[in-house]
Structures are given as C-alpha cells and as structure tokens.
Chains A and B, each alone.
Chain A
C-alpha cells in the first residue's frame, strides 16, 4: 500500500494535496465540498485587511456625506450602531469551518498595516485556525523604494506575528526577491514554519475595445510551474521550512513534479475552479497510481528526489544549464 501521508507545518496530512486559498474557501459549503472532494487540508480564502479598512472608510465617508451642511437635513441616515467592521465574520467562519470539516483548516491573511497584521493574526489564532498562511504581497511601484526595504518589511512582519502566535505559520510570497534563497532563510529565522511558492503577481491586462486597464486575474496553467518548481528544488533541504507548492497544478503530473522537487504539499485552485472540488481526488488517485507504477512506497520517499541537493548533477539547476539551453536553440 502506497503511503501518501505527509507533514506540512507540523500538521499530519493524509496526502499532500491541499486546496489553496480560493473562492471555494469562502463559504462553509465550499469548505465542506473541498473536504468531500478529497482535500488533505483547506486554506481558507484570504482575509484582506485593506479591504476591511476600505470598507470602513467608505462606510464612514458615505455616512457623513452631506451632513451638518443644510438646516433641514443635518444627516441622511439614522444613527444606527456602526461598530467598525473587522475580521469578525472571517473569525466566525474559521470556527465554523473547523467544526464542519475534519481536515486542518489553514487561515490566510493579507494585512496592510503593521498593527493589522499582528492584530488579525492573533485573532485568527484565537478563532481556532489550524495554521496561518501569511499572504505577503506588495507591489513596489514607487521607484524610490529599495529592494532591501521591501525585504525588511516582509521579514519584520513575520517576526512580529511569530512573537504573537503559536500556531504553525506559513509565508506565501512572490518570486520577485533578488535572492530567494536568502529570503527563505530569513523567513525561517524570523519564525516561519513553511514557505508557499508562489503567490501570483497582479498582472493587469488591457481591454483593446474599451482601451482600459483591466484588473483581472487569469487562472494559472501548467506551463507556469517551472519557476516554483525550480525554487522548491533549490530550497529543499537547504532551509528548515515546510515547502508548499502552488501555481499551475492541473493534473497529477504537476503534483508529482512538485513532490519530486521537494514540496511537502501541493496546492491548487485553478484546477478546482475548472473541474470542481472532485478534481482533488483525481489528482490524489493519479499521484497514487503513478507512485505505484514506479514502486514508490511513500511520499516521503518521493519528496525531493529531484531537488537540487539530491540530483546527481546540480549543474542542471545552475547557470551552466541555461547556457546549454541557449546553445541547444538552433
């Protein structure tokens, strides 16, 4: 019998296929369907502090609009209880999800202020999340902002949250650090338990009919797995972190590749949105079949078999390989 079990962030999972943060992880029915579909763990949809702050700001703005200006209409709304929105709804959702499913429930947080990151993280812990994934996403479009300051900020965030909470902590980042390896090590030193590679960079499109910038996010495709595949392979065994792979998982082949590179878990959203939660079981069964065909006894055996540390010729991952590819393109 092939042993598909794995450990991620210290959590024991029945197999390595995890539903990543997605619209399916927004509702209780969705979370249940993910478990029923075969997810070994579920990452809930992210709570965005910025969104909550914006909601509060617009709430306050429109509640105040036009007030104390005209003698007959000093306000336009009744003075109802307007307690500011916080992550309460999300926190309730975490608790409900933990009750509703048996698999670990990993909360996902995208903060925007120093205080917000820490405050929300500790509330998420109290709400009962099995683990927390920090969705660190920053667009340094200001040309005066240095790469180092971006890095420092990310590391500070992880440190601050680690000081506050005890549950397992994963950090999901984008690939655009100058030295991904060093950053991984710094996240580890800051107290992260795992690294999720990679979140998807916001890449707006242009609408040629309307001549407008279109803020859309396309689902990933298998051709996009190479960047995370490379870094997982490069980091496996080099940093003391659980590694989660995400991006481009459509079939069991991508799952296998990520595991071979050294991922502890493989996450998917696009495939589930395309094919439904039941696709999780398809991926899992595909993985099992592939392992059986090649007589892998366990995921532990498979994991990292093709990581940079394990391959016989590490230069396949290095610059020399790049030169070889260029030369082969004739």
Chain B
C-alpha cells in the first residue's frame, strides 16, 4: 500500500475515530486537528470498524469532555478524547476516576507545555508528566507513523488490561509534522481488536437489567485496601502491551517494544528518553558508532506502568553511564520524572550504572544532533554533571552543555529545502502539496515541518522540507539546506535567510527586479554569504507572473514550479505534470477557471526564471534593515530585537525576567511595514469626526492639536488643518497615520463620512502605496510625537469626536488586518487606560495582546497605562474578580490609614482623598493631584520611621479609582468560563466584563461555541449549528443588578462609547457584549462596518443597554438602542461564508435552519420590545 502523507494528528485520529463510538471534544492547540477531523468525519457519516458512525460532541471545556468521556465509558461505549496542555490538566479529576474504576479507554494527547511564567502552545512533556499519578498507562509515540500505530496498540492494550491509556506524541514536532504513513486498513484494525474484549467492556457497564453501583464513598477502614485491589491489573499491563506490540508486528511488519534499544550492543554510554527526540538520538548514535564510538539510545515507549525488568533487559549490561533526558521540568524535585524512574529501576536492579539527568526541548526547543552529541560527550567526562540542560545557554545556573553547532548526522542522499514565505502567500500550502507529490506519487520518504511566527497579520512562515530514499529520522529543523527559497523580497533585506544554506546550494528569490538590479539591492552581508557559500542564485518576479495568470497574490504555484524546475528532485517534465495534477486536486473544488489560471501560471513560470550572474566580490553599501526602530529602550534593543531577528534561541537565561514580567509598550518599536498600501489623510476634506481613529484596529491613526506656531518647525508635507471649533483661531488639528504600522485594512476609509467633492469615491482618508511615502511618513510621525499631548481633563469623553483626542494605550497589535475585536480594546484604553487593570482570558486577545516578541498594551505620555495579565482560559472572570478584591482591600486600607494620618495630611486633603467624587475625568485628574500632594507629605514621615506613612505610601495609588476589566472571547464567556463568569456577575462586585464576541473560537481556528449562531458552519458544527446562540445578555439581566449592554462599534460607535462609559461608571458588575467581525466569518473585513450595520438592522444583533442604576430614577433599566429591523437576516447572512457554506453543501438544510433563525430573531426582538416597553422595572 502506498504511504499516506499526513501529520501526526491525522495519523492518530484516523485510528482513534475508527475504534470508538463517542468522542467528547474541546479545541486546544496542538491537538485540535484530531477533534476537528473526528467531527468532520462524523458529520459526513463515516463509520467506525463496526459500521456505526461515532458520536462527536463538543463540550464546554476539557473538564466537560472528561466528564462526558467518563459517563460514556460507564455506560458501555468505546469512548475517547483528544487534548493537550491545560486541557489534559482539566481532565485530571476524571482520569483518577476512570483509572480507579479500571475502565478501558485511550486519551490521545499532542503533548504541550504548561502555562507557568508564560503560556506556550509548543511541545514538551510537562502536560503528560502532570497526569502520571492518575493511574493511566502512558504510551509515547516518536514519529508520525508511530502516532498511528501506537494509537491502535494502546486501544488493544486497554481493552485487554482494563487500565486506561494516555497515548501521546510531541506537540507540533510530531502532531504537525507531515510524513509518510503506511496506513492501517479497517481489516487490520478488525484483526487487531478483539471483539470479545469490547463485549467484556460493555458487560462491565451500568445496566439496569443487572444493576450495581460504582462510585461509592469509603471510610478509613476500606479505602486503602480498595486502592490496592487493582494492583494486579497494573502488573499485567506491560506484558499485555508487549503482546499487543507483537501481534501488531505480525500483522503489519512494524515491530515495537516497551523499551527500544538502538546502538552498540556493548555501549558504555547510553541516553534514555522518549518521544520524537529519540529518533534524532538514533541518528546520532549511528553516526558516532560508525566513527568508532560505542554508544546507544534507549527509547521509552511504555512509560506507565514502568516495567523495571523490561527496562533492565533493554539496557545493555555494558552501560556504565546513562544520561536520562526529560522534556519536562519539575521545579524543586530531586530529579525530573523519567530520571527518577530510571534511577529507581537501576537501583532495584542492582546495576552499577551511573546516571545523570538532563532537561531538553521545552516548548519545542530544538533538539539537534549536536545536542545529543553534547550529552554523549558529557558522559565521557570523568565527572559528568549530575544535572544539566542542553539546547539553551544557562549562564545563570551554569548547567548547560556546550554544543558543537556544526555537528551533522544526516544521510547524504537526503534533499533539504527551506522556504521563507508570508502566511498569506500560500507558501506553506504549496510545500504541503510538494510533500504529497513526492511522498505519495514519487514514492520518496518525505518530511515537512512548518514554523510560524506569532502574528495574525503579515505572519512569516518557514517551511522545512526533507526528501530521500531512506526513512527520515531527523526530528529537527533543516540545518544545511541545498535549496533555500525566499518568497518575499522584503525578508532578504531584514533577516538572515541564508544562514541555513548549505555551501554550493541553490537560492531562489522572488524579486520584483531583474537579476542585476536584484543583486544590487541585496544587503552586502547577503551578497557575501552567496559568494562565500558559492550559491547558485535564481530570481523570478512571481508576483507579476501570478498576476498575469489571473491569480494575483497567490505566488505559491509559480514558486513551487520554480522549485521543481531548478532543484532537480524530479525530472522537470514529470514534476510539471505532477504539479498540475496536484493543482487539479487542490483547486478542483474551486472551479475549473481557478484550475486553468493556476495551469497558466505553471506554464508561464520557467521562461521567466532567471539566474543571477554572481560576481566575485560583494558591492554596494546596503545593510540589513534594523529590526527595531531607533531610540528603543535597552531591553528592546537587546532581548526583543534578538527575538525579532530570529535569534531568540541564542539568548542566555540571564537575559530574561525571572517571573514572566515584561515591559509594556514594546509593539511600538517593531515597525513591521506589512502592507503595501497604507492610509493617507486629506485635511482639506476631513470633517474631524474621529471615526477613522476610533475604528482603526491597530491604533495607527492618531489625532493631535497644536498651535500654529508649534507647527512652524514641522517637516515638509506635515499635514494639519484649522480645528473645526469656534474660538480657537490659531489651533490646528492634525491626524497622523503611523504608516509603518498600518495593515491596510481600509476600515478607516469605510468609516470616513467625508467625501472629496472633486473625485467621486475619494474620502478624507484613503489608501495609497506605502513605498513612495514612507520616508516622509517616518519624519511626520517623529515630529507628531514631539507635540504636546492633549490634557485628558479637557476632552469630551461623551462623543466619538471627543474620544479621538485620547491617547490609545493599546496599539500596533499583531491581530488580523481588519480585526473586529481590537477597536474595542483601543477605545477602552483611550477611556480608562491610565487606571485600568485587565484580566485577559486566553484566546485571540491574549495572543495579539501578550505573545512575545512585542506586545501592544502601552503607556501614555505620563507613563501610565493598562496593567495586563492573562491567567488561563477557564478562570478569567475569577481572575479579574481577584484583582477587584485586591484593589478594594488596598483602597480600604488606604482610607483607614488616611484617617490615622489625618493631621499629617491635613484634614481637607485626607477627607478629599477618601470622599472626592471620581465620576468625570477632571475629577480623576484632581484626585491624581491630591495623591501626588499626599505622597510628598508622606515621604518625609515614612523616612522618619512612621509605619502608617510607609503603609499608606504602599497603597496610596489606590485612591485613584481602579477600573477592572475582564476581557475575553465568546469561547471563554459562553463556554469554558461560563460558570465563573456567572458567579462573578452574581458577586455584585464592581468589575467590568467585555466579551469580544466573534461567535467562534477564533484563536484555535474557528470552532463553534455556544455563541455561534444557528445555521452557521464552523468547525465542530460542520453540518451547520443546530441550536440558537445563547442570549448571555438576558441571562445576566436576570440578576437584576448587573449592567448589561450589547454593542456593535461598526454599526453605532456612539452607543458603544456610551455603553462602555456607563458600564465603567456603574458601581457593580457590568457585562458588555461586543459584536466582533472576524476572519472566521468568511468575508472581506474591510466591509466589517457594513456587516455590523446589517447585523444590527436585521435584528440579529439588537443593540441594548440594561442599567440597573436607572431604577433609582424610577425609569426602565432596559433601553433598546436599535431601530426595528429593516434588513432581512438573509441579506446579512448571505455576505458571510459561514452561512453560505451550508447553502452550498446542503441547501435544503440551510433553508430549514435559516427559517428557524429568522423565527428566532423575530421572537427575540418581540421579547426585547416588550422589555423596553415596561415603564419601570
């Protein structure tokens, strides 16, 4: 059977789906793909090996999924779930139960880091190590093939042993690596799974025909004995797993062992580890032994139950020095967990073998042959370090091993290629296609691994591809690429793309310039590298070829053709044929015209590919562009700049904060220049309304005012206009576009109401090509930043026009161009940023808000700004409530101490500090003056030893009213954090909750939440969402004392502004539900404002406010801010792919669900009108 080219997730779920009847799922990176595929297959009616279609159900959290799993198992179903990281941690309570009840089940885990000092989505074993005491057996796969094979071995073993299993593989490195898999047929699975064991599983289930109870509570007299009663099952499990592996080997020819030893039979030095790192270690062992050394590697497959005897049998008796490598960290432990197990095994076995323990590979840190060799070298030392880390420079603890970065072990016949691209240019998709072409059709061994940066707009991708005639064991990034392609000319000017190139290799550059000019435009260091490495250098203007072929922007087809044309991995003609076949497969579903246009691009490509005649010497004076703007603080210049330059791996431990605390306002130093088109302001047309500044998702539009005299020194072309206010004859209004930060989303253009009278369609703000204006724009921004900042106390907070004058302290995030969430955060930061605490749920907003290298929460000219933190996904409301309690507690202390120090402070000041109103900004500004005065008075007292003065100084800032904001998406508010949110709203405490409702889990790729509307297609709702969106507003209103608003900035910015201010002013819990256009809705986000309008005016998203404070004035708290619907729901829905998808795939079902949706909207509207009609509440 020819291999399938799939990633580890797909390889695993391909088996898990066919061997189960119930899948309880919840999205979490990097395991989400398994759940998504299971859901898709179920919605397509695909059967398991017994002919039934598994039920796949999305739960509100992994905790919910585990509960459902437990219940399904207890009721006799074969059930599974897929998870990672915090998700697995949420399953722990149920895992103890499932194991304690000896229940056959397998949980498949794409192992990932745990959020500690920081969240990381990448791979290590911290999550699986956290569940090792639960009683689950643990089976580790190290390759994509194993991810499939061990999935079935785990299932075989759990049915036989009754011990549940965690089957895990390394997140990203295996879960997302594309490789060749020999597939298992249904017949294979039927032959391997013993149906009698399945029946036995059912016989143990709850059944009223032969009832029993399970899940009792026990007392000290018996609990302990009961806990020991299952021991024989654990004792048998390793033997059962071994038998399953033997049977599997007989069926498939692929043989596995509990502990797999590889290397010299008489090895004295052995490395022990599990997961993908073992394959790299094998590669190194072979290379070292071929060079005359005697070393070996022992790969752990069954980690729990740890079979001491099997381990001792597998480890050669010759082994004198063993290094145990853990891909996890247990702070404070005597040793990391695998190391402890090995030490115990050796001690029990009486073996005279010395062990050392090393940590490697946390958060997908590279684990290269050089690192493996460093471990063996360490073992050769007379006194090897007992504990070490490898792969980083631990200059603080001195624990790191020196690594020979030039050490290589790859087979010479492996072809290695690296491609730099933009997320939007299709590079990754084309390379995945290439892997399939070469792996499935040309019968080569292939490996594809893809690295992404953390931005959601303008993100850079790096594809690492290997092809060869022999199996590829290199579970690390390509190091010496015979082929390097740079698909974006801008990259070659700013980052080192050729460091990875092998001498004599080929470099393909997508360049808008002919060969000679391209060469002249290369930075000198790049020219020197090309010359020194004797690289063959090719250029093509793929952008033009693609545009001429009718596929503008999609350069992937052109560049893939170039790769096949010059790399020689396949004969050229054959390669072109296969590319076209792949195009037909990939784009066939998108129409013959799309296919034909891609064919045309292929046909036009090779004639346009030109070789650069590389001179003998470099010339010119160009340097790589700086990665951070001039004037950045030292931390940004050193640490963050290194990350931006792709050199973060080289930073030593000492460079980092010890507790995950990072400076605010770093995104302003990263000038990304990601859009070819940027906004340009036309002062003569502008009516100074501020709409553009308020809707800008990236806060690149800034407004200032200055006296005409202040502008005398302005650089040429600096634009301003007389301010549109009476009584200020010399005051000028200026609007600056931070062009280097603009994403070109054009929302500002859409929001602009002012039209150029001379040119129809032009507005007071328009998009224009960035390149010609960028030098001037930099000068203008630099001058703008020298202008005085507008005093907040003078600004009219009540209008959008006024709000434009407030400094945003959320700026230049990495969110998608046109993001519908970030304008709310930007507005929030303008209004309350200088006294705001933000608790941010995990999700898009925590990633564009807090993912290194640079972050957007910023400071104002006074150095104040939002203090931001992310705890978890599930606990955000509680996290924010904690902040409120802390603020209230410290405020209470401050009030008490101000009373004690009344005389020292002066009675008037002490009283005012405690009692002065802080509703209006001018009152808050006055309070800041009081606090400053009090500080001046207290400092000498504290210095002279007054404990009260010292205590008061520590909490004095709390006299300025703190604004606590709990921010998150609908996945948090409607699902995983729903219980906590409910409780916090019920607490009556003064917290403000802002739900950025995109109606899907945007960050993990568009899975349905309870906010997803009826009829919309989303992942986990592939057949269209069957239930209506939860009305969280009504739920909150039911408490009676919660301020609730539903807002849509794009439809009514004034109402949004009003609601945010009312929510903040309300002395109690507030909930603001914000309509947030999202890329997962499937339309051009430039039109997000129009869509918001349709959402509101169709009654789909009725604007409302419920303000309990109005009751004090005998008024109805409920205000309906929307007019009666004038737009049909279908006119709204027809604009979005999430709704159109169902119309395409199942028109009858779409019709049925749309009708239901319309009825639901009408019903809710009537209910809202009724609420609004009440005279008083």
Contacts and interface: CB of A to CB of B under 8 A. Distances in A.
A and B from one complex: yes
Interface in B242-280: none
B955 to A, nearest CB: 39
Contacts of B426: 64, 68
Contacts of A85: 591, 1144
Contact of B1006 (A58, A73, A113, A115): A73
Given A67-B429, A68-B461, A70-B452, A76 B1082 contact: yes
B456 interface: yes
A287 B341 CA distance: 101
Contacts of B757: 211
Given A68-B428, A81-B589, 20 more contacts: A56-B593, A59-B1140, A60-B587, A60-B591, A62-B1082, A66-B424, A68-B429, A69-B452, A70-B423, A70-B452, A70-B459, A71-B172, A72-B32, A72-B121, A72-B1004, A73-B1003, A80-B1145, A84-B591, A84-B594, A113-B593
B1079 A66 contact: yes
19 contacts: A57-B593, A58-B1137, A59-B1144, A65-B1079, A66-B423, A69-B428, A70-B452, A71-B176, A71-B452, A72-B30, A77-B1082, A78-B36, A78-B40, A80-B1141, A81-B44, A83-B589, A115-B592, A211-B757, A212-B761
A72 B1003 contact: yes
Interface in B767-817: 816
Interface stretch (B614-622, B656-664, B1017-1025): B1017-1025
Nearest to A86: B591
A62 B1019 CA distance: 15
Most chain B CB within 10 A, of A68, A75, A213, is at: A68
A53 B593 CA distance: 8
B54 to A, nearest CB: 16
Contacts of A59: 590, 1137, 1140, 1144
Nearest to B759: A211
Contact of A72 (B29, B423, B432): B29
Interface of B is mostly: mixed
A71 B30 CA distance: 8
B741 interface: no
Interface in B306-328: none
Contacts of A58: 1137
B1080 A70 contact: no
Contacts of B422: 69
**Which residue of A65, A71, A79 has the most chain B CB atoms within 10 A of its CB atom?**
A71
Contacts of B1140: 59
Of residues A62, A65, A73, which shows the largest number of chain B Cβ atoms within 10 Å of its Cβ?
A: A73
Of listed A53, A60, A65, A81, residue having the most chain B CB within 10 A? A65
Interface in B693-714: none
B847 interface: yes
A127 interface: no
B448 to A, nearest CB: 12
B1018 A56 contact: no
Contacts of A89: 1147
A190 interface: no
A69 B424 contact: yes
B40 A70 contact: no
B1018 to A, nearest CB: 7
A84 B596 CA distance: 14
A328 interface: no
A72 B1019 CA distance: 14
Contacts of B592: 84, 115
Contacts of A60: 587, 590-591, 594
B619 to A, nearest CB: 36
A66 B1083 CA distance: 11
Contact of A73 (B590, B761, B1005, B1145): B1005
Interface of B: 29-30, 32-33, 36, 39-40, 43-44, 121-122, 172, 176, 422-424, 426-429, 432, 450, 452, 454-456, 459, 461, 587-594, 755, 757, 760-761, 816, 847, 1002-1006, 1017-1020, 1022, 1079-1080, 1082-1084, 1137-1138, 1140-1141, 1144-1145, 1147
A69 B1006 contact: no
Contacts of B455: 70
A310 to B, nearest CB: 48
A211 B754 CA distance: 11
Nearest to A68: B428
A75 B1006 contact: yes
B1128 to A, nearest CB: 15
A307 to B, nearest CB: 44
A11 interface: no
A117 to B, nearest CB: 13
B873 to A, nearest CB: 12
B590 A84 contact: yes
A76 B461 contact: no
B1026 to A, nearest CB: 15
Given A56-B593, A66-B816, A70-B456, A76 B40 contact: no
Nearest to B755: A211
Nearest to B1137: A62
Contacts of B1083: 62
Contacts of B122: 71
A178 interface: no
Contact of B1137 (A77, A84, A115): A77
Contacts of B1002: 73, 76
A63 interface: yes
A212 B1017 contact: no
A295 interface: no
A41 to B, nearest CB: 28
B760 A211 contact: yes
Contacts of B587: 60
Interface string A208-248: 00111100000000000000000000000000000000000
A74 interface: yes
Given A68-B423, A68-B461, A70-B452, A80 B1017 contact: yes
B1144 A69 contact: no
Contacts of B1005: 72-76
B1082 A65 contact: yes
A79 B40 contact: yes
Nearest to B423: A69
B1079 A71 contact: no
Nearest to B1142: A80
Contact of B1019 (A71, A78, A81, A84): A78
Nearest to B556: A68
Nearest to A77: B1006
A59 B587 CA distance: 12
A120 B188 CA distance: 46
For the complex of A and B, list the 9 residue pairs with the smallest distance between their C-beta atoms, beginning with the closest: A69-B423, A73-B1005, A68-B428, A60-B590, A84-B591, A76-B1006, A56-B591, A62-B1082, A78-B1022
A68 B461 CA distance: 8
A211 B1005 CA distance: 40
B846 to A, nearest CB: 11
Interface in A81-102: 81-85, 89
